[in-house]
Chain A
Amino acid sequence: MTPDLPDILTRVRAALPAATLAQLRNPGPSAQDSLLVAPDSLVSVCQFLRDAPELAFDFLSNVTGVDWPVPAKADAVAIPAEGTPPAACGFLEVVYHLYSTSRRVGPLVLRARTLDREAQVFLPSLVPVYRSAEFQEREIFDLFGVIFTGHPDLRRILMWDEFMDHPMRKDYVAPDDYQYEPTPHDAVLEKAKQHYPAKSEI
């Protein structure tokens, strides 16, 4: 059963007047509309969604990141209300899919966005509300570079600890020497020539 978003919006606004959130429309056939929540009210909104008995969204199923270098593309996938100013620069987005196990309602799609993709990549961690976010937020930190403030153990999870970049970002360039090959492919060698100085002849 899909959740009734306008009803949820009014309930959240009545309980938390300070919370900033807006409904975004999904143009696709799935019609899974979402709620855009401001980062500073994310934890309180989720706490309310979990604890309010008439909502009871007790199960955070999926947490994932999306990299939007071009903000207009994000607005095409999740269409904001008329008159909303577009974001000034690209951002990282975290998408949450919530379900209610007792009421059998879901998915309730929440989204939170960072201010930009370089310096202001902070979002509050949902681990104090939903423990299931623990590894998934670590994965988003690892692959997208979103820093979750308040996460108890924010380390890389899939890449190795010394790795420097965030490979799921759209502008990530894979290294040429990702794999030791005794007889490298021609294409890899050709690509490597663009980055490395030519070897001196001995």
Chain B
Amino acid sequence: MISNPSIPFATNPALPELDEDQLLHVSLGPQHPSTHGVFRMNVVLDGETVVSLKPVFGYLHRNHEKIAEGVTYLSSMPFTDRLDYICPLTNNWAYAHAVEKLAGIEVPERAEYMRVITAELTRLINHTAFVGFFLGDMGAWGSALMYAFREREKILDLFEDLTGARMMSNFMRFGGCRNDLPEGWAAKASTLVNEFPRFLDELENLIIGNELLIGRTQNVGAVSKEALINGGITGPMLRAAGVAYDIRKVEPYGIYDRFQFRVPLGSTGDCYDRMMIRFLELRESLAILRQALDQLPEGQYVNPKSKIRNFKPPVGEAYARIEGPKGELGFYLVSDGSTNPFRYRVRPPSFINLTLLEDMCLGLDLADVVIILGSVDIVLGEVDR
């Protein structure tokens, strides 16, 4: 465990002097099934023990930010779906939130509720899929993921009703959403929300008490609170270590200050805590969803004053962030008064959460590396952009 943030770099005191001839250099990835996509790690091993680990990115790099500078503000909206393709709706929201801040656009109340509902449904998708992938990383490939994907498909059906696409939703607009909720959608969503806890009970019963899972995840990959904050780690990873930092509470964007929900906190920050945080956050998301669906007002789904054609935000810059399912998802925009952003930057939580990957893995076995990587919860579409 690294406790002193003033020593920013990983050192492994357990292995003071190593014989270079005895070290094994392994290139883990980019097509290893448990690396969550095209992601590579250059691992140096002393026997089974990790001595050094350098992540290699960029296999999926398409310079999203440069492309966005060449098109209008709204044209980037469908492209944000492709960043973290598990949760397109939170990406949409983060981008719309930043542009609204940049241009000073008000969002009608109904649109805010629709955003909260879709974002929390997205969180349900992300966290259930996380549990499935995480068990896959541990060798329980298939069963847990299929359970998770069965439920995910029900939510994706709702999204298809609402946005026309299962995953590439392109739903948010500056000042609201693209279309209103279809007739009967809220009732269907309520049914799903009411049935979801039963699935969660089932999944938790199957997973969290399992001796093998506990043996492989507890006391694996823990890093101190201070080092996590210093390393820019956000989201469930940070809260698993006991830091109460949820942007929905700290800096309530949208209408999150109207809902009653708790921020689950872990104690040690190991891989087990990281998994349990996701389970507990699922319950809190369900609580938010129930309140939002109950309170859902009538009204406009988009601000009629927000322009679509020839949309030119005033000169200035804005940084806005939301609590994405993977961590702090921020957008930094610079406007020079034209129809295209002068600078468009995504603050990708997956990318920055990998900063401490080496620190978490040093001194552990190679088999633990895959679990730790799984517990970070990355999506390569967002890491490489």
Residues of A that sit less than 8 Å from B by CB = 1, 26-30, 32, 58-62, 64, 66, 73, 76-78, 95, 97, 101, 104, 106-107, 109, 127-128, 130-136, 143, 152, 156-160, 167-168, 172
Q: How far is the CB of A46 from chain B (nearest CB, A)?
A: 12
Say whether B229 contacts A58, CB under 8 Å. Answer: yes
Say whether B316 contacts A61, CB under 8 Å. Answer: no
> B293 interface residue, CB < 8 Å from A?
no
Bound Cα distance A29, B243 (Å): 32
Contacts of B147 in A (CB 8 A): none
Say whether B330 contacts A77, CB under 8 Å. Answer: no
Say whether B328 contacts A61, CB under 8 Å. Answer: yes
Q: How far is the CB of B345 from chain A (nearest CB, A)?
A: 4
Are A64 and B332 also in contact (CB < 8 A) when A28-B317, A30-B102 are? yes
Query: How many residues belonging to B are interface residues under a CB distance threshold of 8 Å?
Result: 50
Say whether A131 contacts B315, CB under 8 Å. Answer: no
> B283 interface residue, CB < 8 Å from A?
no
Contacts of B65 in A (CB 8 A): 143, 168
Given contacts A32-B317, A66-B342, 20 further A-B contacts (CB under 8 A): A26-B317, A30-B319, A59-B229, A61-B232, A62-B319, A73-B342, A76-B336, A97-B332, A97-B347, A131-B227, A132-B230, A135-B351, A143-B65, A157-B57, A158-B57, A158-B58, A158-B61, A158-B63, A168-B63, A168-B65
Looking across the interface, which residue of chain A has its beta carbon closest to that of B60? A158
Contact of A78 among B317, B318, B355 (CB under 8 A): B317
Contacts of A101 in B (CB 8 A): 229, 243, 245, 250
Q: How far is the CB of B171 from chain A (nearest CB, A)?
A: 23
Q: How far is the CB of B306 from chain A (nearest CB, A)?
A: 13
Say whether A28 contacts B336, CB under 8 Å. Answer: no
Say whether B102 contacts A104, CB under 8 Å. Answer: no
Say whether A107 contacts B319, CB under 8 Å. Answer: yes
Say whether B61 contacts A159, CB under 8 Å. Answer: yes
Residues of B that sit less than 8 Å from A by CB = 5, 8-9, 57-58, 61, 63, 65-66, 101-104, 227, 229-234, 243, 245, 250-251, 313-321, 328, 330, 332, 334-336, 342-343, 345, 347, 351-352, 354-356, 384-385
A-B residue pair count with CB separations less than 8 angstroms: 130
Which residue, of A30, A106, A127, A133, has the highest number of chain B Cβ atoms within 10 A? A30
Say whether A77 contacts B316, CB under 8 Å. Answer: yes
Bound Cα distance A165, B63 (Å): 13
Which residue, of A62, A76, A127, A156, has the highest number of chain B Cβ atoms within 10 A? A62
Contacts of B355 in A (CB 8 A): 131-132, 134-135
18 A/B residue pairs, CB under 8 Å, sorted by A: A28-B335, A30-B316, A30-B319, A58-B230, A61-B347, A62-B319, A62-B332, A66-B342, A77-B315, A77-B316, A77-B342, A109-B319, A132-B230, A132-B355, A133-B232, A158-B58, A159-B61, A167-B63
Say whether A97 contacts B101, CB under 8 Å. Answer: no
Say whether B230 contacts A159, CB under 8 Å. Answer: no
Bound Cα distance A78, B316 (Å): 7
**A interface secondary structure, majority:** loop
Say whether B317 contacts A132, CB under 8 Å. Answer: no
Contacts of B251 in A (CB 8 A): 1, 104, 106
Bound Cα distance A95, B95 (Å): 19
Say whether B102 contacts A128, CB under 8 Å. Answer: no
Q: How far is the CB of B219 from chain A (nearest CB, A)?
A: 23
Say whether A135 contacts B102, CB under 8 Å. Answer: no
Q: How far is the CB of B57 from chain A (nearest CB, A)?
A: 6
Contacts of A76 in B (CB 8 A): 315, 336
Looking across the interface, which residue of chain A has its beta carbon closest to that of B352? A132
Are A136 and B316 also in contact (CB < 8 A) when A131-B8, A159-B61 are? no
